[in-house]
Structure 1
Amino acid sequence: MDVPADAEGETVPIDRMDSSPKNACLGKVFTAPTVNTRRLICKRCWFRYRLGLPFAPVPDIHGKMRSPVSRLLLQPARPRLVRASGKSAFSLIELLCTVAIILIVYSLYFTSGSRHYQARQKALCQQNLEHIYVALKMFAADNNAAFPVVTNAATSEAPLSLLVPRYTSVTEIFICPGSKDKKLPEAKPFAQRKISYAYCMGRTINDGGDQLLMSDALADTRPKETGHKIFSANGKKPGNNHHRFGGNLMFCDGQIQSSPAEASAPLVIPPGVTLLNPKP
């Protein structure tokens, strides 16, 4: 008498079934390969069967006594989801908190409205003004110590455009890195375009280190008393090259100072000098 075929299509003789305690099924399962699929089977029964040793018949899912490797007894193994322990699990709340911290740090250090970001941009802006001053000095050397002048100029682009391309071919220095102004074509005059800096037209190289020559775009072009607003105080135009964190001031001797949004000293505009803002 035989039992139904096992997983590999073999017939299991009844004389190899032995229900003695020493051959009893241990009930411990493992994954064993078969022709059609992988199945869970008692480890002891499987190896006793494969070695030709007696093994205990066990009931299948229908209650009938079958070979432990019978297809009717064993069901295909299903994928099991393993849940991480409480200590190692990374919960949704922890993930959201991590993302929130990353966003906060990013906004503090890398957005245009952050103090740290604008501090770095001010340093780069200062380098721009230093390069512009070199070109202005060369212009003054060729023009009786006078800096560029264009009669009836309404904005700073017209006089400063005279520096290009003879005294400098690098136009990116006229765009403040803290602003959102568009890049200028290289080595081409920009009188019809927009730059980022204000300019005191009518100055000479001999006017002294306390006289303003250039600066970041200003809130307006009127003379200022100490404490008056010279740059944007809320991050909105005009005068917001560095959002609400002030800007740079360059004087006739080439020195550059960082200033808050409010003037730390009076800003005087003498006769013959016109303070020009860039185009809005």
Structure 2
Amino acid sequence: MTNKLHLYLQLIRWDRPAGWLLLLWPTLSALWVASHGFPGWHLLSVFTLGTILMRSAGCCLNDVADREFDRHVKRTAQRPVTRGAVSVREALGLGTVLALLAFALVLTTNTATIFWSFAALGVAVIYPYAKRYVAMPQAVLGVAFSFGIPMAFAAVQSRVPPLAWLLLLGNLFWVIAYDTEYAMVDRDDDLKIGMKTSAITLGRFDVSAVMACYLAYLLIWLWALMDIARPAIYLIATGLAGVQALWHGWLIHKRERDNCFKAFRLNHWVGFALFSGIALSYLGA
């Protein structure tokens, strides 16, 4: 029983919180913006727990979809489903339970949030298969990883204003940036097995494209949120995020596997910087 629990925790990447933190910070940022400050403990709990649960469910589906490919990739060959330690049925069952728990949380919000949760689920289900057909599957992932933004606005305001979609667009560029860094780690293996990734599609322009996406992300969020309570604080936070982006550019410029993976793993601090700037901007306002 203990061994099976360990396998399930490994399946949902419990020991790698960077994955759900990448989803959490833009979602919480949207909650604070939509609420013009602290959104209350109920919504904070719903979106924090829901983010963790849905990311974990996504890992289950992704590993099932990619099990035949993952065995040929150094980094993923020992994943529980890939090596047969967890069956496809078990993985899908666990993913379903986690998704239903997340949906139960959504049911405590409002009709608009429930409606948008179905769209979010649809994109999340599509993504694992996009890697077979789409030259830039990171763009699909970008939509999936950004859907907490319109859902947060829906939960607070019972609608999704244009600002939410603008923030989603900016966040999509960030996801493309860090997931391209992730794809650069596996590029050699992905070329052999015919997997489509942005790192392969962009070729020698990969590093330049990553930096351009970081810039687009930061500029869109800066422009969209310059009229928040204390813009000077947010400007400083954006600067700190920008410094991190430049560091990541330095890490990946030689395209070394370990440094590309390091850049990916540390990306959640970029999102944390912007969230901190937003939260502090509304503090005491």
TM more than 0.5: no
Q: TM-score of the superposition, structure 2-length normalised?
A: 0.24
Higher relative contact order (CA 8 A, sep 6+): 2
Q: TM-score of the superposition, structure 1-length normalised?
A: 0.25
More strand per residue: 1
More helix per residue: 2
